[in-house]
């Protein structure tokens, strides 16, 4: 590191870094490569981490999650300085975000863009590896009714202009994550017919040209779950990655390509649109893709495990898609953790996309780049183990109003049809609603009144796969510090050097073993003076070793 001097290594009897033959180097590098196959640096895989939660998991716990799963790419939806700063001297590459509500100000003021970059990017460089700045999030979504269409492109240009002034060693690109609804199939069910939505075609032409000018990627969010959720006739098999090319759901394009899953079809719909607009080689990043675990009949851990494991297998296979074969897919899984404050306008499942629960428990088995998901709930501190439930002696004429209030200010998405708590009955529903409100309000005593219908208990009411949560203690911090759990770039480099040295030594020993074995006796005869001494009737060998010769025993 700059500012540090390195003393010359002391000469030892046996050097740890001997001159190795090309064959030894080849063996060692093969071993290194094999050990790195499970690393996320070898594939384009990252995760999204949103913070729309009533009780956030400590950032240092999240850092351990990423480290334990070999995930080194993270996408954020803002640029919280405390969060971004936690990744200093780590291997994690970040995509930070600018919320949609800030686009107007940044679009109309290059100075505002420069100030934003200074505050949210410059101060963290070079210790934090910021690679992308997401300008807005799905700003051309149909549901926004063109609210951000006039400001997104100017904001993109101003932010990229501010980033260009940084002259950072690793160029930082401004991008615009877009929902897949910017695409159209032109009335054809074939991916090769892809084009941009007619109502925003001119805008998309300019946007893509701007991205290409700065060699920035096209970021698109793809949600196969929504295809299944929104269309009752959508073939379920086509939503996952284990379909057959001869199955009824497979799509056979006129160009000879066959699609067995909607992810590849959606991806190539974008590829076709880019081809049609003259950008056949533009890099594509899938900014969001995943599967929820609750709040809908198709949202459950089994389906989520099936989809996400299939996605990871697809990414690591390196086969790409039919229109971009044998190309690495760059994908950010949505999401790392559940968020109980997200809007449920799209559906009750919106709060359940995480591969981890709110408190850091893995929801299901998932092989992430050769590493399973670990549980981190032991690393957090909870509120006291108590719950708010229905008082059966209360005035039931007030129950409906109280439940509605609790659900509107809490999270009752697990109670809907298909949800994990849909089977617990009316009284169970009331208790669940009351407890949700009670926990979100940090177990304040007055948050379990409900006109006399609520009562506090220490008996866990969870039952039959329906969990009544106890929230995290917002005043407690994780006992472990981030500095103890993350490698700095220097220590990581030293560790890699030591690993390589060790592997080189192992390889050398493997190659030299036979030679050592066959030459052992003759070598010892040459290097030793032998004399027979009679001691208790046994022969004794006296060895005289030449200076500079290392003993290997």
Question: Are the beta carbons of 395 and 401 closer than 8 angstroms?
Answer: no
Catalytic residue, candidates 60, 288, 339, 350: 288
Question: Are the beta carbons of 480 and 64 closer than 8 angstroms?
Answer: yes
Close Cβ partners of 279 (under 8 Å, ≥ 6 residues apart): 208, 212
**Token pair for 91:** 């291997």
Which of 19, 75, 37, 11 lies closest to 331 in space, CA to CA?
75
Report the phi/psi class of residue 521: left, alpha or beta, with left for phi > 0 and alpha for psi in -120 to 50.
Answer: alpha
As a whole number of angstroms, the distance between CA 133 and CA 161 comes to: 12
Question: Are the beta carbons of 113 and 152 closer than 8 angstroms?
Answer: no
Establish whether 444 is a catalytic residue.
no
Which of 112, 119, 109 lies closest to 84 in space, CA to CA?
119
Residue with tokens 């893509």: 208
Question: Are the beta carbons of 408 and 417 closer than 8 angstroms?
Answer: no
Residue with tokens 């709110």: 358
Residue with tokens 């549980």: 375
Establish whether 170 is a catalytic residue.
no
**Token pair for 325:** 């074969």
Residue 159 φ then ψ, to 5°: -70, -45
Catalytic residue, candidates 60, 93, 138, 339: 138
463 by DSSP, 3-state: which? strand
Residues in the chain, overall count: 553
As a whole number of angstroms, the distance between CA 467 and CA 432 comes to: 9
Question: Are the beta carbons of 223 and 239 closer than 8 angstroms?
Answer: no
Q: Check the CA dihedral 453-459-462-467 and report its sign.
A: positive
Catalytic residues: 138, 288
């Amino acid at each position: 590191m700059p500012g540090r001097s390195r003393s010359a290594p002391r000469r030892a009897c046996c050097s740890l870094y001997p001159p190795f033959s090309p064959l030894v180097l080849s063996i060692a590098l093969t071993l290194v490569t094999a050990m790195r196959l499970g690393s996320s640096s070898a594939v384009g895989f990252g995760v999204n981490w949103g913070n729309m939660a009533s009780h956030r998991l400590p950032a240092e716990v999240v850092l351990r999650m990423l480290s334990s799963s070999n995930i080194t790419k993270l996408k954020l939806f803002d640029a919280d300085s405390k969060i971004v700063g936690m990744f200093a001297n780590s291997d994690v590459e970040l995509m930070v975000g600018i919320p949609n509500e800030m686009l107007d100000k940044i679009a109309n003021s290059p100075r505002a863009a420069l100030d934003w970059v200074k505050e949210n990017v410059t101060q963290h460089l070079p210790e934090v590896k910021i690679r992308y700045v997401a300008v807005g999030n799905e700003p051309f979504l149909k549901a926004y009714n063109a609210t951000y269409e006039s400001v997104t492109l100017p904001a993109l240009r101003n932010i990229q202009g501010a980033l260009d002034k940084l002259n950072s060693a690793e160029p930082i690109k401004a991008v615009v994550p877009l929902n897949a609804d910017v695409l159209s199939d032109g009335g054809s069910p074939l991916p090769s017919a892809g084009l941009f939505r007619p109502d925003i075609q001119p805008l998309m032409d300019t946007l893509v040209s701007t991205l290409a000018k700065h060699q920035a990627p096209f970021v698109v969010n793809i949600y196969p779950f929504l295809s299944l959720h929104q269309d009752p006739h959508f073939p379920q098999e086509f939503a996952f990655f284990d379909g057959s090319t001869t199955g009824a759901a497979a799509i056979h394009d006129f160009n000879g390509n066959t699609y067995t899953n909607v992810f590849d079809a959606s991806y190539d719909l974008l590829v076709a649109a880019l081809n049609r607009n003259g950008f056949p080689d533009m890099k594509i990043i899938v900014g969001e893709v995943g599967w929820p675990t609750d709040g809908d009949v198709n949202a459950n851990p089994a389906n989520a495990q099936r989809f996400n494991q299939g996605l990871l297998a697809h990414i690591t296979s390196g086969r790409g898609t039919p229109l971009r074969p044998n190309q690495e897919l760059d994908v950010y899984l949505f999401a790392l953790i559940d968020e109980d404050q997200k809007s449920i306008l799209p559906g009750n499942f919106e709060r359940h996309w995480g591969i981890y629960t709110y408190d850091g428990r893995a929801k299901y088995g998932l092989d992430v780049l050769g590493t399973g998901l670990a549980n981190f709930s032991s690393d957090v501190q909870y509120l006291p183990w108590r719950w708010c439930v229905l008082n059966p002696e209360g005035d039931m004429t007030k129950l409906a109003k109280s439940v509605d209030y609790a659900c509107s200010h809490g999270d009752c998405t697990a109670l809907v049809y298909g949800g994990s708590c849909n089977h617990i009955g009316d009284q169970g529903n009331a208790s669940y609603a009351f407890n949700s409100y009670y926990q979100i309000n940090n177990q304040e005593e007055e948050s379990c009144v409900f006109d006399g219908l609520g009562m506090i208990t220490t008996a866990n009411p969870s039952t039959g796969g329906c969990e009544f949560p106890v929230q995290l203690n917002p005043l407690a911090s994780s006992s472990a510090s981030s500095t103890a759990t993350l490698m700095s770039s220097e220590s990581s480099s030293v560790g890699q050097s030591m690993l390589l040295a060790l592997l080189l030594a192992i390889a050398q020993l493997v190659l030299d073993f036979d030679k050592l074995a066959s030459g052992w006796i003759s070598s010892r005869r040459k290097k030793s003076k032998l004399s027979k001494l009679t001691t208790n009737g046994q022969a004794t060998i006296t060895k005289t070793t030449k200076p500079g010769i290392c003993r290997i025993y």
